[in-house]
Amino acid sequence: MRLPYTPFFKNMPTTSKIDPKEKLILIVDDDDTVVDFLKFAIERDGFRTETARNGDEAIAKAQSVKPDLIVLDMMLPQKAGYEVIKMLQTGQNWKIPIIVVSGRFIEDTFKNNILFEENVKEYLVKPIKSQFLLHKIHSLLGTYSLDEQAVIKNSELITESLKPKKPEGIL
């Protein structure tokens, strides 16, 4: 008697996470080195990115490209980060989550005021660790990380290799 085939990973919890390729991150910083670093790290994890170098450009890009999340520096030319946050809370942009990244030490009172803004989900101080930032992004957007992508791919390969093969020549 032959037992029915049961995939090896059948009892693994299923995930309803989203592919990061479906999400767009707007990176806003006036420092080219920081932009390049963030862009590299975020794209390496599968996200699409757009960049802006000042507050006015950030607001224009948020309206035109409709990002799923914004990584925003506080010290920007033309419009400061806080002004950008306030302006993004109007119209259709108010739902875009923002992770604030600042290279400047600020008082806890000001930091808390920023965190009380509805669309600000996190406040990080530079230098930041890319893995920590990516964890926050994945958590906020419900996407899977590179590690999770590898586990999914491996489980698919193992499941496929464990399926019984039909012997050749038998109908």
Question: Which tens digits make up the pLDDT trace of 90-101?
Answer: 877 678 999 999
Q: For residue 125, what are the domain limits?
A: 21-150
119: pLDDT strictly greater than 70: yes
Edge-first strand order for the sheet with 120-125 is 48-52, 24-28, 69-73, 98-102, 120-125
pLDDT at 11: 42
In a domain, 163, yes or no: no
- DSSP for 7-21? -TTTTSPP--PBPGG
Going by pLDDT thresholds of 50, 70 and 90, the confidence category of residue 140 is: very high
In a domain, 168, yes or no: no
**Residue 78 sits in a domain of what CATH number?**
3.40.50.2300
Question: Which tens digits make up the pLDDT trace of 13-65?
Answer: 445 788 899 999 999 999 999 999 999 999 999 999 999 999 999 999 999 99
Q: How far apart are CA 109 and CA 102, in angstroms?
A: 15
Report the number of distinct structural domains present in the chain. 1
Mean pLDDT of all residues belonging to the chain = 83
pLDDT at 89: 84
In a domain, 130, yes or no: yes
Q: How far apart are CA 42 and CA 128, in angstroms?
A: 13
